[in-house]
């Protein structure tokens, strides 16, 4: 009798969790990014925006038609991790030249970026583009828009998300606010060689 009661309660909990999962998925699917709240560096000429969680739900609903494009460097893709379904076409490569004014290493643009993307996707294909946190992906979307692509979405929070700015937080300065990895979405370190494109030195 006690075992039957426990099974019944367990079944009710699982049903409740399943309902909550449906509600959560629905809320992701209907959420909208507020373009006015985005910093200029994350805005694009096409004006199509999603969060990482929304992009994943769109891909999961139609994985044969929807593409996820990761434009980070090969090193980021390999060592920071990546979405398992994502194609990696780097927008830039690390130059390893220190910019004293900007206090960072410079990067070089991939001259073959648009042609490499064009070899994979048609101009009307739905493509969800991500980088680390939304800056390079916005540049990539604009380059593709200039090349005639019309259905390219900017993943505004990227793979790693935005920086925590709370002065009281021990995580201040770290990218733990949102993004693909911080949203509990699937990611891996395993390289998917057939989904990778490389910058050729010229």
pLDDT at 7 exceeding the cut of 80: no
- Contacts of 187-195 with CB under 8 Å at 24 or more apart are 187/81, 187/82, 187/83, 187/84, 187/159, 188/81, 188/82, 188/84, 189/78, 189/79, 189/81, 189/82, 190/84, 191/77, 191/78, 192/82, 192/84, 192/88, 195/86, 195/87, 195/88
Specify the higher pLDDT residue, 23 or 54. 54
Phi and psi at 105, nearest 5°, equal -80, 140
CA atoms of 159 and 77, how far apart (whole Å): 10
Average pLDDT of 64-78?
A: 97
Which strand ranges, in their side-by-side order, compose the sheet holding 67-70?
49-50, 152-155, 127-130, 67-70, 87-88
pLDDT score recorded for residue 20 = 36
pLDDT digits (tens, 9 = 90+) for 82-134: 999 999 999 999 998 999 999 999 999 999 999 999 999 999 999 999 999 99
pLDDT at 15 exceeding the cut of 70: no
pLDDT at 18 exceeding the cut of 80: no
pLDDT digits (tens, 9 = 90+) for 154-168: 999 999 997 767 778
pLDDT digits (tens, 9 = 90+) for 140-156: 999 999 999 999 999 99
Average pLDDT of 17-31?
A: 40
pTM over 0.85: no
Q: Which residue has the tokens 């090193």?
A: 75
């Amino acid at each position: 009798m006690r075992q039957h009661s426990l099974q019944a309660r367990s079944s009710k909990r699982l049903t409740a969790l399943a309902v909550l999962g449906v509600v959560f998925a629905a809320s992701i699917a209907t959420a909208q990014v507020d373009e006015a709240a985005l910093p200029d560096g994350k805005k694009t000429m096409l004006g199509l925006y999603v969060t990482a969680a929304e992009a994943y739900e769109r891909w999961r609903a139609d994985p044969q038609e929807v593409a996820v494009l990761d434009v980070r460097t090969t090193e980021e893709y390999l060592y920071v991790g990546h979405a398992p379904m994502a194609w990696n076409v780097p927008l830039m490569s690390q130059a390893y030249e220190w910019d004293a004014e900007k206090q960072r290493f410079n990067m070089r643009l991939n001259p073959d970026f648009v042609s490499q993307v064009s070899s994979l996707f048609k101009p009307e294909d739905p493509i969800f583009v991500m980088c680390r946190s939304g800056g390079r992906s916005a540049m990539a979307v604009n380059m593709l828009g200039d090349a005639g692509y019309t259905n390219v979405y900017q993943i505004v929070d990227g793979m790693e998300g935005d920086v925590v700015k709370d002065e009281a937080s021990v995580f201040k300065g770290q990218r733990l606010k949102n993004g693909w990895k911080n949203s509990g979405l699937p990611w891996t370190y395993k390289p998917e060689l057939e989904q990778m494109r490389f910058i050729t030195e010229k």
